[in-house]
Amino acid sequence: MDKTETRGIVTEQMEIRETDGGNRTISGYAVKWEMKSVTMGYWKRFKEQFKRGAFSDSLTSDDQLALWSHDTSQVLGRTKNGTLRLIEDEIGLRFELDLPNTTLGNDAYETIKRGDVDGVSFGFQMQKQEWDEADPDNIVRSITQAKLVEISPVAFPAYPDSQVSARSHDPYKLFVDEREQKDKLSLLTEQRERELQLLKLKF
């Protein structure tokens, strides 16, 4: 699946530091392992969590960006040149971002320093997932492998809920639809095999 989804957390532990050389770095967690999201989804409600190591492959093979509020025209850093560093530890996906000495970097620094922006959001493309449907009223989606696209300091890092975007891309409905298609295909295959067996018996 190549649909990019965005998620986020509010954190009071985003750190900001300035060195004697004038470098300004913000750090914190973009994802915390197995921390369940707020209830989300449109077709049927579910919660979501990320398993430890979900981004391991992506961190070694892809180039991630740090954006201001998911805006691709406002780049704050990237892993390719080392201005964005991403580390998976026992808590979650930790980031360190060296802010640029630009108007955007200065504005980001001041806004975060004042506490106006205290959230972190991230964009990802799901590659492997697990669904726990044991309790129909408490369905849980676990992302076990994903391609990390970007992280963003944001003012409102809420999970998508009943927004229009959630209606057009509902992960649980997509999962159920794909499962039903596989079941139908399996039944058709079995039926064709039985018909072939009957034809062989006739001849």
Helix (H) or strand (E) holding 121: strand 119-132
- Domains contained in the chain, number: 1
In order of 13, 14, 67, 75, 150, the CA distances from 25 in angstroms are 14, 10, 14, 15, 17
Mean pLDDT of 75-82: 97
User: Does the residue 174 lie in any domain?
Assistant: no
Domain of 71, in residue numbers = 4-169
Does 32 fall in a domain? yes
User: Does residue 65 belong to any structural domain of this protein?
Assistant: yes
Please give the residue that has the higher pLDDT: either 26 or 167.
26
In which band, very low, low, confident or very high, does the pLDDT at 165 lie, cut at 50, 70 and 90? very low
Predicted confidence at residue 76, as pLDDT, reads: 97
3-17, 84-98, 116-130, 163-177: which range is least confident on average?
Answer: 163-177
Which carries the bigger pLDDT value, residue 10 or residue 6?
6
Phi first, then psi: give them for residue 163, nearest 5 degrees: -75, 165
State the pLDDT confidence band at 11, using cuts at 50, 70 and 90. Answer: low
Identify which of 59, 48, 6, 8 has the alpha carbon closest to the alpha carbon of residue 29.
8
pLDDT band, very low/low/confident/very high, at 95 (cuts 50, 70, 90): very high
Lowest mean pLDDT among 14-28, 67-81, 138-152: 14-28
The amino acid present at 38, given as its one-letter code, is: V
Confidence label for 115 from pLDDT (cuts 50, 70 and 90): confident
C-alpha distance from residue 195 to each of 182, 189, 191 (Å): 20, 10, 6
The pTM (predicted TM-score) of the whole model is 0.76
C-beta separation of 25 from 2 below 8 A: no
- pLDDT tens-digit series, residues 122-163: 999 999 999 999 998 899 999 999 999 999 998 876 554 333
What's the rounded mean pLDDT across residues 62-82? 96
Question: Is 202 inside any structural domain?
Answer: no
CA distances from 189 to 124, 175, 178, 186 (A): 35, 21, 16, 5
Q: How far apart are CA 75 and CA 191, in angstroms?
A: 55
Determine the pLDDT at residue 203.
61
